[in-house]
Structure 1
Amino acid sequence: MTTKAIIFDFDGLIFDTETCELKSFEQLYEKYGVSFPKEEWLKLVGTISTYDPYETLTKTLSQLKKKDLMAERDALFEKIVEGETVREGVKEYIERGKELGLKIAIASSSSRRWIEKYLGIIGLDTTLFDVICTSDDVENVKPDPELYEKVLSHFGIEPNEAIVFEDSANGSLAAIRANIPCVIVPNEVTKGLIFDERVALRLNSKKDMELDRVIEFVSARQ
């Protein structure tokens, strides 16, 4: 079936906020001489979790207050983000998608405010996307398929008429549960995660394969 839309995750896929977040937590923990529970933190990448990444610090050093640590971590994150930019190949995929007449969307477990802020920081206008579906728009975020199902409904297309681009295990599982072919492009943080064997294709970077070839490859598998 003809591909009519491409759907991008945001964090870690369009803009690698995930690596910046990890660095900020590692720097925060290092300051206080406590080992950062990276494996636990990795489980929440691409979703919203009840896991508290500050708990190990506050339990180890009872004098530390979570609200102060959050402010400190946020400052570290913003400093790390300075100078960062869109992941390679993203702009080319968007431009080529438009040339091919494809609908282009973002489906993210983050809030609209977050996405709009960081799209601005990396110089991507929100008008490049036909729809941006966020945690504000659904009851359940990834790995639940609701975000992706909502995008399909917005465009009025079938699952096999779209291709999802994801970087995380939780995100790719959401796409798979929505029955949409999923191409994974892991970043430095997510490249070691275990992905569902049903992903259609794995790339190290969008520079590895032009969008036309990705569409041809995915279409041939259906």
Structure 2
Amino acid sequence: MKVQGVIFDMDGLMFDSEKLYYQANLAAAKQMKLDYSDDYYERFIGASDEDLMAFFREAFGSEAQVQEFMRLTYQAIDQAIHQGRLEKKPGLDELIAYLEQQQISKAIASSNFKTKISDFLTATQTASHFPTIISMDDVAKGKPAPDLFAAARAALGTPAAETLVLEDSLNGLLAAQAAGIPCIIVPDLIKPTVQMQAQALTIVPDLLAVRDFIRNNH
């Protein structure tokens, strides 16, 4: 396939941030003396904060507890960023350089909010490479709904069949499919499921392999 545009997920795809969120969730739950199962986190990788908070309202039984949990979580994330613990995923710089060399359009479509996306891009010195960013501030529904990816593709102005979504989660893959855009999975914390293997365009080990895939099919 000829690739004219690439849409990046952010958390777990561009940056090794999912483990930071997980650690922050654990720390917040411990501080508040709340039960926190690994399953809580895994089921919402790639989903929006609204979906996460709706689940925690039911699990924790109190809106005040949910708000405090999220406040402590983001406090820990901000601290991690300021301590330089947010790392780029292997191959990110090389993939960005290749796309720019080939004049292939790119965008970020993330379930995160604009302020947090900006913090991450600034901390990793990648902000100048992504003038097009679609966040939860811009759409009605997060992943697995198609809104984020559909809006990003519209902003790029590229045909769906000649656009790629790069994702690490099932929620993201389902969102890309719902938007009619081929999706490459680059696994992060969760091993690809049988469903992901069947529905993804391909599954590759890192972003360098994404560069090679585009190069070989461009």
TM-score by shorter chain over 0.5: yes
Alignment of 1:177-196 (within 5 A): 177-187=178-188, 189-191=189-191, 195-196=195-196
Post-superposition offset of 1:72: 3.3
Post-superposition offset of 1:17: 2.1
Q: Does 1:129 align with 2:130?
A: yes
Identity of aligned residues (%): 25
Are residues 53 and 27 of structure 1, via their aligned partners in 2, closer, same or farther at CA, if it must alter by over 3 Å? farther
Give structure 2 stretches of 5+ with no counterpart: none
Q: TM-score, normalised by structure 1?
A: 0.82
Counterpart among 93, 101, 109 of residue 91 in structure 1:
93
Structure-2 separation of matches of 1:52 and 1:34: 11
Post-superposition offset of 1:110: 1.4
Q: Are the aligned partners of 2:114 and 2:135 in contact in 1 as well (CA < 8 Å)? A: yes
Structure-2 separation of matches of 1:117 and 1:136: 15
In structure 1, the partner of 2:108 is 106
Q: Are the aligned partners of 2:56 and 2:66 in contact in 1 as well (CA < 8 Å)? A: no
Structure-2 separation of matches of 1:77 and 1:166: 21
Q: Deviations over 1:67-101 (max 9, x none)?
A: 54444333333334432221111111111001111
Structure-2 separation of matches of 1:133 and 1:68: 27
Structure-2 separation of matches of 1:65 and 1:154: 38
Post-superposition offset of 1:148: 1.3
Q: TM-score, normalised by structure 2?
A: 0.83
User: Which of these two proteins has the greater Rg computed from alpha carbons?
Assistant: 1
In structure 2, the partner of 1:43 is 43
Post-superposition offset of 1:202: 1.3
Q: Are the aligned partners of 2:169 and 2:185 in contact in 1 as well (CA < 8 Å)? A: yes
Post-superposition offset of 1:21: 0.7
Post-superposition offset of 1:8: 0.3
SS in 2 for 1:137: coil
Structure-1 separation of matches of 2:173 and 2:210: 20
In structure 1, the partner of 2:15 is 15
Structure-2 separation of matches of 1:148 and 1:135: 11
Alignment of 1:50-199 (within 5 A): 50-52=54-56, 55-56=59-60, 65-81=65-81, 82-83=83-84, 84-125=86-127, 127-187=128-188, 189-191=189-191, 195-196=195-196, 197-199=198-200
Post-superposition offset of 1:147: 1.5
SS in 1 for 2:21: helix
Structure-2 separation of matches of 1:31 and 1:174: 34
Q: Deviations over 1:111-152 (max 9, x none)?
A: 111111111111112x31241111111112211112211222
Q: Are the aligned partners of 1:165 and 1:184 in contact in 2 as well (CA < 8 Å)? A: yes
Structure-2 separation of matches of 1:4 and 1:143: 24
Structure-2 separation of matches of 1:65 and 1:131: 35
Are residues 29 and 93 of structure 1, via their aligned partners in 2, closer, same or farther at CA, if it must alter by over 3 Å? same
Post-superposition offset of 1:105: 0.7
Are residues 145 and 69 of structure 1, via their aligned partners in 2, closer, same or farther at CA, if it must alter by over 3 Å? closer
Are residues 176 and 70 of structure 1, via their aligned partners in 2, closer, same or farther at CA, if it must alter by over 3 Å? closer
Give structure 1 stretches of 5+ with no counterpart: none
